[in-house]
Amino acid sequence: MTVIVLTNCPAGLRGFLTRWLLEISAGVFIGNPSARIRDILWNEVQQYADQGRALLAHTTNNEQGYTFRTFDHTWHPKDHEGLTLIHRPSPASPAPTTDPAKKSGWSKASKRRRFGGR
C-alpha cells in the first residue's frame, strides 16, 4: 500500500498522480503500485511540487511494517534504534519583552499562595 499526501501543490501534479493512484480526499492519494513505479512517482512529486509539501508512506518489510519520506516538510523522519520516528523542531522561543510595565518573576498573589504569607 502506498499513500502520498500533497499540500499546496499544482493541480497538474495531482492529475498526474491520478493515473496511478486513487485520490480519496483533496491531496491524499492511495494505491498499490510496484516499488519501481512508486519511486518514479516520488521523483515526479519532488520535481513538480513547486512551493508545496509532500509525504510518501508505504509498506515495507521492517519492524514497523511501513516507512515514509518527506519533501519540504519541517518535520523529518529520524532513525531511533531501528524505528523511524518524526522529528518535530521545537517552536522558536518568544522574544523577550522590553515593556517596563511587565516584570519577570513571581507575582505578589502567587508568592502569597506559595509561601503562605500576606
Give the pLDDT confidence score for residue 101 in this predicted structure: 62
The CA distance from 68 to 56, in Å, is 5
DSSP 34: -
Query: In order along the chain (118 residues), what is the average pLDDT of each group of 10 residues?
Result: 94 93 96 96 93 93 90 84 84 60 71 72
Give the pLDDT confidence score for residue 95 in this predicted structure: 56
Give the pLDDT confidence score for residue 85 in this predicted structure: 87
The CA distance from 14 to 114, in Å, is 58
The CA distance from 103 to 74, in Å, is 34
Query: pTM value?
Result: 0.71
